[in-house]
Amino acid sequence: MSKLDNPRWRTIDIVVASVIAVAFGVIFWAWGLVWSATSGAFAFFPPAQALIYGVWLMPAVVGGLVIRKPGAALYCETVAAVLSALLGSQWAGTVIPQGIVQGLGAELAFAAFRYRSFRLPTALLAGVLTGVSAAVFDFFVWNAKYDLTSYRIPYALLTVVSAAVVTGVGGYALTTALARTGALAHLPAARDRTLV
């Protein structure tokens, strides 16, 4: 565990968090097309679609791990949602509250560790919590008319699994890989880097 940094965001924290959000916003926009195009096919085996759900939740975990400041997870997920709406995502404005709800999940996990741990277990917890918040949102808002035992519950569980694996572990791996490239040199996430 490292010591708590000054919680104030520097310009670089704000801009890089925004850039991460923007990059994922663009990915969301493309992902939305994939999602729509495959939703008919996946309906025969809905678990599969839930498994790729984790991508929607990545900015929350990656943002939190890279920036390491209170609010980073929430900020990244929300800005990514706003951007995908600006780009003309078919879900438009509804992704904004959805993004806020999802971001809150991950934020809670980082807060639980008092913004001092950014290791795999934290990332995993952040993934799970953001998955839970996303699953709850979908359970009530989008999936209300589907069968409870054969669809809504498995879908929610798979969302959480996807969030743990794709978002949590994947987000952690992505952050480590980013740090290895040296791109995060001026950010808190680079602190653990071994000097060469």
Q: Count how many residues are written for the chain.
A: 196
Q: Which is nearer to another protein, 29 or 110 (CB)?
A: 29
User: Closest distance between another protein and the C-beta of residue 111, in Å?
Assistant: 19
User: Closest distance between another protein and the C-beta of residue 91, in Å?
Assistant: 6
**Sign of the Cα pseudo-torsion (76, 78, 82, 88, in order):** positive
The footprint of another protein on residues 97-126 (CB under 8 A) is 97
63, two tokens: 């943002």
136 interacts with another protein by CB under 8 A:
no
Contact 125, 65 (CB under 8 A): no
The footprint of another protein on residues 44-83 (CB under 8 A) is 44, 46, 75, 79, 82-83
Q: Which is nearer to another protein, 49 or 130 (CB)?
A: 49
22 interacts with another protein by CB under 8 A:
yes
Nearest C-alpha neighbor of 31 from the set 3, 1, 52: 52
91 interacts with another protein by CB under 8 A:
yes
Nearest C-alpha neighbor of 81 from the set 92, 65, 70: 92
In the block, which residue shows the tokens 């808002």?
141
Nearest C-alpha neighbor of 21 from the set 91, 100, 93: 100
176 interacts with another protein by CB under 8 A:
no
Candidate list 51, 94, 111, 136; residue touching another protein; CB under 8 A: 94
Cβ density class 163-179: b for 16+ within 10 Å, e for less:
bbbbbbbbbbebbeebb
Interface residues with another protein (CB under 8 A) are 9-12, 14-23, 25-27, 29, 32-33, 36-37, 39-40, 42-44, 46, 75, 79, 82-83, 85-88, 90-94, 96-97, 140-141, 144-148, 150-151, 174, 177-178, 180-186, 195-196
